[in-house]
Every structure is written in C-alpha cells, then in structure tokens.
Amino acid sequence: MTIAANDRAAKAHRNRESAMSAFITKKAEIDAAFARLQRLSDDHFYCDPDALNWGHVGMVEGFAAALKAITDAAFNEGEYAE
C-alpha cells in the first residue's frame, strides 16, 4: 500500500470509529427516553383516575401521535411506507 492509501485507510477507520461513538451516544439517549416514557406510562402519565378528563385524553393522544410518527419512520410504515 502507498502512503496515500494508508492515510486514506487510517482516516476511514477513524471516521468509522467516530461514527460508532456518535451512534452509541445517541442510542443511549433514546434508551434513556424510552425508560422515562415507560415509567411515565406505568404511572398513568401522572393522571389521577378520579380526576381524569378529556384534557388528559388529548394529552395522551398527542403522545401517541408523536410515537406513531417515530415508529412509522423506523419501520417504513404510514407516510413512510415504500
């Protein structure tokens, strides 16, 4: 291999390592968000069942719509279907 080819290979390797590190960091952020959302859901989104109203329904509808947009994009469904 020439020096230039070695330099390109080393740069490509560093670039892959950097991308992997960034990916792992973002994945950890997503995992933490999932864990928080699960705890919130387990606690019924902090809603008191005796005081539940249509505002609470609207709140969870908004959450569900946002999550549907994410899952549609992740699984190529809905507007992201091929």
pTM of the model as a whole: 0.79
Question: Which pLDDT score is estimated for 2?
Answer: 86
pLDDT tens track, the chain, 82 positions: 788 888 999 999 999 999 999 999 999 999 999 999 999 999 999 999 999 999 999 999 999 999 999 999 999 999 999 8
Question: Which pLDDT score is estimated for 77?
Answer: 97
14-37 burial string, b = 16+ CB within 10 Å, else e?
eeeeeeeeeeeeeeeeeeeeeeee
Question: Which pLDDT score is estimated for 54?
Answer: 97
